[in-house]
Amino acid sequence: MTDYAITLTLPARLFERAQQIAETTAQPIEQVLVEQLENALDNPFAALPRDEQVELEALTLLSDATLWTIAREQMDAPTQARLQTLMDKNSRVPLSDTEAAEFDILVEQGQKLMLRKAQAAALLVKRGHTVTPDDLDE
């Protein structure tokens, strides 16, 4: 892959924001700007609702330590247990309307959690970290 050097004049507010991100994430400002351009031009979240896009894009502003915390996050035990109970029941008999609605909400929460975890891990890899399944255990 060929890289191209360009000269770009940034408005002060953009430069200051990029500098703040660079300091927070301990990255060179050039790397921050390239990552932000990649995110803007190659939006992998375009199919998601806008609030979810914003949440995932905001992860790029976080420190490595915070990203590790997110990458290791787990659904709390009572929620996991309830989801498992509903899945087990659903495999045997149809869920009631109330249970089905609860099940849908819990599945959506789990999917959002997994997406955040995956994005945090991807950002860590992009920043030069090695992320293995063992690294993601609490």
Q: How do residues 60-97 score in pLDDT, each as one tens digit?
A: 999 999 999 999 999 999 999 999 999 999 999 999 99
End-to-end CA distance of the chain, in Å? Answer: 37
pLDDT digits 0-9 by tens, 99-128: 999 999 999 999 999 999 999 999 999 999
Q: Which tokens sit at 32?
A: 């921050």
